[in-house]
Chain A
Amino acid sequence: MIIKILGTGCPKCKLLEQMTRDTVAELGIQADIIKINNMEDIMQYDIMATPALVINEKIVITGRIPSKEVMKHILLNEK
């Protein structure tokens, strides 16, 4: 699957990226993780708050960092 992290580089965005990478590795999922920094590219998605997590072009999280459990839940469900 393709996972995109949308964020301009605020501390929360970096944290979300790190957490996504860690959880993907932990669950042993095959995924391409792409970080999108450019504001105009980010605004192609219909989001109102950063950071955001997009899995296979579906927006699953905006504006916050999920707990580890929620992150696992999301990754396993969207696989």
Chain B
Amino acid sequence: MFNRLQSFTDWLIYGVINFDKAAHLAQALNFFVFDSIKILILLIMIVHVMTFINHYLPIEKIRDFLVKNKLYGLEYLFASLFGVITPFCSCSAIPLFVGFLKAGIPLGVTFTFLITSPMVNEVAIALLAGLFGFKITAIYVITGILLGIIGGFVIGKLKMDNQVAKFILQARNTTNTTIDQVKVKFSLVLKQISTDSFSLIFKIMPYVLLGVAVGGLIHGFIPTGFFESYITKNNPLAIPLAVIIGIPMYTNSAGVIPVVQSLITKGIPIGTALAFMMAVIGLSLPEFLILRKVMKMKLLLTYFGIIALFIMIAGYIFNWLL
């Protein structure tokens, strides 16, 4: 699919600008131009699709679906899948958490959604697909969905419902109104979707370019296999360390994924890298601070602890399998 883009980049860097193919700088530049354009194309496609789905399946409808249907355990699966298609912004974490609980959705199912929603998002999917290919992207997405299901289920079993803020407990099972969104013409909807998509893409593009630039430098200047001697699959501490470093890092996925990709080509094991990315993307300090307002510390630490543990386990499994 991107063969032509690679030919174009080669032509641009080695033909038009006439760089020496063997030069480190030329290789780094080639990597930068090719990856930036490829990611931009994927971002435009994937963000538009997700925004479109989200327009017709807003979070309120998802909540009503989970409340009204008897799902016999499948509610965890549905909550996790809905988490994939819902964009996540840490500033919306509170209304989301409170809204689910108020409507009577169990705490465990609410957490499933809260786990998957940030971890599997459209920006991460576009970047992973562009830089790692579809196999690794599928592995990441499926792992994220499973983590949400298992994590939510475990938290649900711990019976910690009393650990949420008082005003939520008092308001549980109280609301059932539906939102009366204003109907507008389809052409206006499409225009709005495109505007929304591009405003998101423009916002993250500087991080993408920075990440790809750093990745390009690593790609061009650090010798292949450089990290193999330091971070091997056999080092059992590498994964826990990667996760613990990853959690407080407040860089969005757009900046981290390109750097991690170039590190893998220099010898960092894929499972360790995946665990690191999941920790960076799925758990963040701002989210922690915001959720502190609606739940007690014990529940919050349990949530972060369980997810961190599961990400580590997933990392070991990937290193063993891949």
The interface residues of chain B lying within 8 Å CB-to-CB of A34 are none
Please give me the 8 A-B residue pairs with the lowest Cβ-Cβ distance, nearest first.
A10-B91, A48-B99, A48-B59, A49-B92, A46-B175, A46-B177, A59-B179, A74-B182
Per DSSP, chain A at the interface is mixed
The interface residues of chain A lying within 8 Å CB-to-CB of B100 are 48
B59 contacts A49, C-beta separation under 8 Å:
yes
A70 and B189 CA atoms in complex are apart in Å by 9
A59 contacts B91, C-beta separation under 8 Å:
no
Chain A-chain B contacts (Cβ-Cβ < 8 Å), number = 79
Return the contact of B91 from the options A8, A61, A62, A66 (Cβ within 8 A). Answer: A8
Q: Contacting chain A: which of B17-25, B28-36, B190-198, B206-214?
A: B190-198
A-B residue pairs in contact (CB < 8 Å), sample of 15? A8-B91, A12-B89, A46-B102, A46-B179, A47-B60, A48-B96, A48-B100, A60-B182, A62-B58, A63-B92, A66-B192, A67-B188, A73-B182, A73-B188, A78-B182
Within B206-257, the residues touching A (CB, 8 Å) are none
**B115: min CB distance to chain A, Å:** 17
B92 contacts A50, C-beta separation under 8 Å:
yes
Knowing that A60-B181, A70-B192 are A-B contacts, what are 10 other residue pairs whose CB atoms are under 8 Å apart, sorted by A's residue number?
A42-B95, A43-B99, A47-B95, A48-B95, A48-B96, A48-B99, A49-B59, A49-B92, A67-B195, A78-B182
Chain B positions within 8 Å of A, measured between CB atoms, are 58-60, 63, 89, 91-92, 94-96, 98-100, 102, 167, 171, 175, 177-182, 184, 188, 191-192, 195-196, 293
Per DSSP, chain B at the interface is helix
- Size category of the A interface is 20 to 34
Would A43 and B102 be within 8 Å (CB), given that A50-B91, A64-B196, A69-B188 are in contact? yes
The interface residues of chain A lying within 8 Å CB-to-CB of B177 are 46
Return the contact of A63 from the options B58, B98, B184 (Cβ within 8 A). Answer: B58
A70 contacts B184, C-beta separation under 8 Å:
yes
B184 contacts A73, C-beta separation under 8 Å:
yes
> Taking CB as reference atom, which chain B residue is nearest A74?
B182
Interface assignment of A40: CB less than 8 Å from any CB of chain B: yes
Return the contact of A12 from the options B59, B91, B181, B293 (Cβ within 8 A). Answer: B91
B94 contacts A39, C-beta separation under 8 Å:
yes
**A18: min CB distance to chain B, Å:** 15
A27 and B213 CA atoms in complex are apart in Å by 46
A43 and B98 CA atoms in complex are apart in Å by 8
